[in-house]
Structure 1
Amino acid sequence: MALDAEIVKTLEGVTTATITTVLLKLGLRNTWIRGTKPLAEGQPRIVGPAFTLRFIPAREDLATTASWSAPNSTRAAIEAMPEGCVAVADAFGVTDAGVWGDILCERMVKRNIKAMVTDGVMRDGAGVKASGLPVWSQGQAASPSVASMTFIGWEEPIGCGGVAIFPGDIIVADQDGAVAIPASFLDKVLELAPEQERLEGWVVEQVRAGHPLPGLYPANEENMARYRAYRAEQEAKEGQNG
């Protein structure tokens, strides 16, 4: 399930904004997970395969503190997570009870889990931040999950922030939020996203130099020719320095 280091390195160099643009060009409009914001300032861009977690509305006989010790529990799910994954919790947008808190996050750090992404909220905000686990969520709440949710299981298709996510889909999260790349689209994103990032970087430089946007963004044939000449020049310099 772990991603190749080169794949991770490539996607770490691409913004979620660029990825959503590339996926849109590939026909996928609904990939940005709504309601997920960085819990702490300065969180790095993270990349990893999704390990899915599913909650449903609380039912009194199931959503109890005793359920935390059950074989099918959030605690057991953490032990099933492979190193390098991103835990993605479907909390169906609940914001009055935390998916989980600092102790569980500390365990995830020990198990080398990359991050947590949820359309819900977290408990123990200060402790979660202190754990060092990067988290994307809707914020914080004091109440435990069982106040409003029942944990159902892991590694099944979920809907998080209005996006369908399957186990193994690739999650990229940065300061703009989190995006899900369907596993079957990964190769195309790896092919197209770095070039899209380079092109947009060049466009920004042109705008700063005073060029008008019509014909520049999106680039017409004339400007694409200018861009290709620029890239050829850059590659030649890189070849000389290499």
Structure 2
Amino acid sequence: MTIDSLQLDEKIVAALSGVSTATLTTVLLKHGLRNVWLRGTRPIAEGQPRLVGRAFTLRFVPAREDLATPASWGSPISTRAAIEAMPSGCIAVVGALGVTDAGIFGDILCARMHKRGVAALVTDGVVRDIAGVLNTGLPVWCQGTASPPSVAGLTFVGWQEPIDCGGVAVFPNDVIVVDRDGAVLIPAALLDDVVAASVEQELLENWIMSEVETGAALPGLYPPNEANRARYEAARISSISLGGALGRDPAAGQG
């Protein structure tokens, strides 16, 4: 049984687009979540933007010779069928068991995902047809590339169900944020609290960086003691009243 996809509020997307994955892991740690960074998810190309979207999950299991065949690509339960169910703006998160010698998707599948408005592909596996994949314009986070097709090492079994990707439990409609550091998961149930805390954390770290750039020492500043916290709050209020922003561009920060 698959789970229906949910849209993500544009205000949430805008807020998280200014928060680094490094900051998010700190905030999630404060909420008691340590295992939120999807291991092996690296940007396949330089310059890929920070992206935010609901997780649309796909699951592979180890290859079984009677099931993992080229003929399975035409099955009703196939990666091709899953792509047609992906909503615009989602991030396709594929649990591939960390297999690095069989490419889960190639250029044609990635081109179709891009055409459907999928924001990105994230997997703990690899892709194939790298030149073609790059030409599709679909941002990809993965472990690299391999020439053999998925059926050389994996069997596709379904979509929009809980998966393991990079050692992290990913449920449909969890929120994924990707940037140069990789992919981080925000549990759907914690989204509002994490967004509010993350925006505040990013503002604080922007202010701390501005203090460091003026020569301030770190003890008592990072993390801030009571006096420095008061200075930050005063600067924040002043910045809001002037309609400005604290410190550096939040998109530049990696915490």
Q: TM-score range by the shorter chain?
A: over 0.9
Matches within 5 A, 1:155-234: 155-234=160-239
Q: Distance in 1 between matches of 2:160 and 2:16?
A: 23
**Letter of the 2:233 counterpart:** R
Which residue number corresponds to residue 118 of structure 2? Answer: 113
Structure 1 residue 221 displacement after superposition? 0.4
1:113-142 superposed Cα distances (whole Å, 9 cap, x missing partner): 110000000001111111000000001111
Which residue number corresponds to residue 27 of structure 1? Answer: 32
Runs of 4+ in 1 over 6 A off after TM superposition: none
Which residue number corresponds to residue 15 of structure 2? Answer: 10
Unaligned runs of 5+ in 1: none
- 2:105 paired with 1:103: no
Tell me the SS of whatever aligns to 2:48. coil
Q: Distance in 1 between matches of 2:183 and 2:174?
A: 12
**Letter of the 1:80 counterpart:** A
Q: Distance in 2 between matches of 1:80 and 1:233?
A: 48
Aligned-pair Cα RMSD in Å: 0.8
1:7-65 superposed Cα distances (whole Å, 9 cap, x missing partner): 11111111101111110001100000001100111001111000000001100000000
Q: Distance in 2 between matches of 1:168 and 1:236?
A: 37
Aligned length: 239
Structure 1 residue 207 displacement after superposition? 1.1
TM-score, normalised relative to structure 2: 0.93
Structure 1 residue 190 displacement after superposition? 1.5
Which residue number corresponds to residue 125 of structure 1? Answer: 130
Structure 1 residue 233 displacement after superposition? 1.3
- 2:98 paired with 1:93: yes
- 2:31 paired with 1:37: no
Tell me the SS of whatever aligns to 2:243. helix
Q: Distance in 2 between matches of 1:233 and 1:4?
A: 29
Which residue number corresponds to residue 3 of structure 2? Answer: none
**Letter of the 2:41 counterpart:** T
Matches within 5 A, 1:43-62: 43-62=48-67
